[in-house]
A and B are shown apart, each in its own frame.
Chain A
Amino acid sequence: MKIATFLLIGGIAGTAMLMTGCGSDPVRIDPTGNQGLTTVDDINFKDWQIAAEKAVNSLLTSGELSRQDGRKTVVMVSVVKNSTTQHINTNILTDKIRQAILRSGKAVTTTAVGGNGPEDKASKQVRKLEDDEMFNQATVQKQGTAIAPDMSLAGEIIQQKTTLGRKTESYFFFHLTLTDLKTGLAVWEDNVEIAKQDKKPAIGW
């Protein structure tokens, strides 16, 4: 009996030591690869990349960034509303699209005005230097010189969750629009849909 008790305690202790020791050192993974974690309730980094890739391809194919008068379209990033249950930073998506717009050579983006305020407050700040005698006024940016945007990029990210027995599912709907600010009309719209599903084990969590 004592031997059996001793063996039982030893077995439990040994198992506990093995389980706590079975970890691994952190490793760097390729951010462009597919080794990232996939979770049902969150928008993982691969989801952002897929959404950006499809949105950029669709926007560039539409040709709506090109102008006939020879100058480049000025695009501002407005609000991309988060309608998911997670706290997410939608800049992950809009920054990729904005960079693609700049790289295309068809349009430029403004940081002086945005849906959540200016991305860079410097455009407004430097114009206050007109009242500051310390600065050479010939080098200070003048009022009335900043370029206003022609178009606005906005959107919404919506999440719908479903649970059925041990299965849980999340459906993410990335909706983006490009609006002509002169007319208020949407000149481009597209959606990217990502669905993920998970099944909990019968025993455990």
Chain B
Amino acid sequence: MMKWKIAGMMVAAVMLTGCFQDTVNTVENSEKNMQAQSVNVQNVSTDSFLKNRLKIVRVDKVTLPDGLLKVQVSAVNVRTGFFSEMWSWFTNDNPYSITYRFTWLDQNGMEVNTAASTWIPLTVVPGDTIRLSAVSPNSRCKDFVLSLRENN
């Protein structure tokens, strides 16, 4: 009887894994040639669910030739692994849907509204790295705030 129970659970587990969405595998050159200019950031996280699913990997910036500032935030969906995927499938979190918004501040700390001052929805597959980028509306903008939240 015990053997049948174990066999049944194994079959159920195998069937459940078939319901999980495939995660993303990546291949890249290990010796990087890029010379990125990273930015020191401070994270304020009020959503533990988002924090446990999306990990901010790096923040890079570049000043374009005409003085505009371009910022790129790299983040990865860390919900990989059997139990994480099973839980994400159970809670309908796979693929993970987020929404983000860039806010630009000028040299006086005043917000500068742009076409990008809107929440943009995005889907993040487990294991995938997303790069959220934006260009400052003008050369007076020196600082930015990236807001992230779950897109329910």
A52 touches B (CB below 8 Å): yes
Tell me, yes or no, whether A111 is within 8 Å of chain B by CB. no
| Min CB–CB distance B94 → chain A (angstroms) | 17
With a cutoff of 8 Å between Cβ atoms, the chain B residues found around residue A105 in the complex are 138-140
Q: B80 an interface residue at 8 Å Cβ cutoff?
A: no
Tell me whether A34 and B138 are in contact (CB under 8 A).
no
Q: How far is the CB of A71 from chain B (nearest CB, A)?
A: 14
Q: Which residues of A contact B114 (CB under 8 A)?
A: 56, 100, 103
With A53-B120, A103-B137 as contacts: A61 and B64 at CB distance below 8 Å: yes
User: How many residues of B sit at the interface, in one of the four size bands?
Assistant: 20 to 34
Tell me, in angstroms, the Cα distance from A67 to B32 when the chains sit together.
34
Q: Whole-angstrom distance from the CB of B147 to the nearest CB of chain A?
A: 11
A66 touches B66 (CB 8 A): yes
B115 close to A (CB within 8 Å): yes
Q: Is the C-beta of B50 less than 8 angstroms from some C-beta in chain A?
A: no
On whether the beta carbons of B115 and A96 are closer than 8 Å, the reply is yes
B138 touches A103 (CB 8 A): yes
Interface of A is mostly: helix
CB under 8 Å from chain B, chain A span 5-47? 31-34, 46
Given contacts A50-B120, A53-B115, A57-B133, contact A106 B66 (CB under 8 A): yes
- Chain A residues within 8 Å of B112, by CB: 103
**Is B138 in contact with A104, judged by CB distance below 8 angstroms?**
yes
Q: Cα distance A33–B138 when bound, in Å?
A: 24
Docked CA distance A45–B24 (Å):
31
In angstroms, Cα B101 to Cα A52, docked, is 14
Residues of chain A within 8 A (CB-CB) of B68 are: 60-61, 104
Interface string of B81-101 (1 = CB under 8 A from A): 000000000000000000101
Q: Is the CB of B115 within 8 A of A34?
A: no
CA distance A188 to B119 in the complex (A): 26
CB atoms of A32 and B115 under 8 A apart: no
Chain B, Cβ-Cβ closest to A56: B115
Give the nearest-CB partner of A106 in chain B.
Answer: B66
Please report which residues of chain A, range 77-130, place their CB below 8 angstroms from some CB of chain B when the two chains form the complex: 96-97, 99-100, 103-106
Per-residue CB contact flags for chain B residues 133-149 toward chain A (1 = under 8 Å, else 0) read 11101111000000000
Q: Which residue of B lies closest to A66 (CB)?
A: B66
Which residues of chain B have C-beta atoms less than 8 A from A104's C-beta?
A: 68, 137-138
Q: A32-B117, A32-B118, A33-B119 are in contact. Are A57 and B135 (CB under 8 A)?
A: yes
Q: List 19 A-B contacts (CB under 8 A).
A: A31-B118, A32-B101, A34-B121, A46-B121, A49-B118, A49-B120, A50-B120, A53-B115, A53-B120, A56-B116, A57-B116, A57-B133, A60-B64, A65-B66, A100-B115, A100-B137, A103-B112, A105-B139, A105-B140
* In the complex, the 9 A-B pairs of residues with the closest C-beta atoms, listed nearest first: A66-B66, A32-B118, A60-B135, A96-B115, A52-B115, A49-B118, A53-B116, A103-B137, A56-B115
